[in-house]
Amino acid sequence: MMLNLYRLPRRKTPRNDDGGFTLFELLLVLTLAMIITTVGVVNLSRLQNTFRLRSSADEIIAMLQLGRELAVSNKNQAIYNISISGGVVSLQGGGKVISRYQIPIGVGVTPESINWSFTPITGGLASCLSCSINLFIGSQTENIIVLNNGLVN
């Protein structure tokens, strides 16, 4: 019988297959998870700033609209005015504070102080010089433009 040199019999080796992951595969998955988490945290921080800015603008707009509505429906000829001072927005009427809002820490506002009065019956802003309020956090800004008739644009 002739020995076939090209075809040697295979040796049966015991396999040690636990079905687990290699160290390289685990490190790769952990690295990808860390990268995705880092990107998510950075974007969440930006999103929180955007929501903080928009909610502050919405609060100030609501106060402006309330002041105008009170001035238009004014039966007792009381003077209504809105002011910003020291990070606090307040709506006064008839010598009393009707509404007050504390601008959150980290949100900047320009101009830093205003005192606008709504005219009775028309609701216009008689003492409005710049007629805009700018809120900002870092490079993000939110502009509130108030027309001379007291409407918020």
Q: Give the model's pLDDT for residue 126.
A: 74
Q: Is 43 helix (H, G, I), strand (E, B) or coil?
A: helix
With a cut of 60, say whether residue 1 has pLDDT above it: no
With a cut of 70, say whether residue 130 has pLDDT above it: no
Q: What is the mean pLDDT of residues 130-134?
A: 82
Give, in degrees to the nearest 5, the angle at Cα 50 between 46 and 51.
120
Q: Domain 33-145 in CATH: superfamily?
A: minor pseudopilin epsh domain (3.55.40.10)
Judging by DSSP bridges, how do beta strands 108-110 and 114-118 pair with one another?
Answer: unpaired
Q: Give the model's pLDDT for residue 135.
A: 92
Give the pLDDT band (50/70/90) at residue 137: very high
Element (H, E) at 134: strand 132-137
- The pLDDT tens digits for 17-44 are 667 889 999 999 999 999 999 998 888 8
Write the DSSP assignment of 65-118 as a string of letters.
HHHHHHHHT-SS---EEEEEETTEEEEEETTEEEEEEEPPTT-EEESS-EEEEE
The domain locations on the chain are: 33-145
Q: What is the mean pLDDT of residues 117-139?
A: 80
Do 84 and 133 form a contact (C-beta atoms < 8 A)? yes
Q: Give the model's pLDDT for residue 10.
A: 66
144/149 Cα distance (integer angstroms): 14
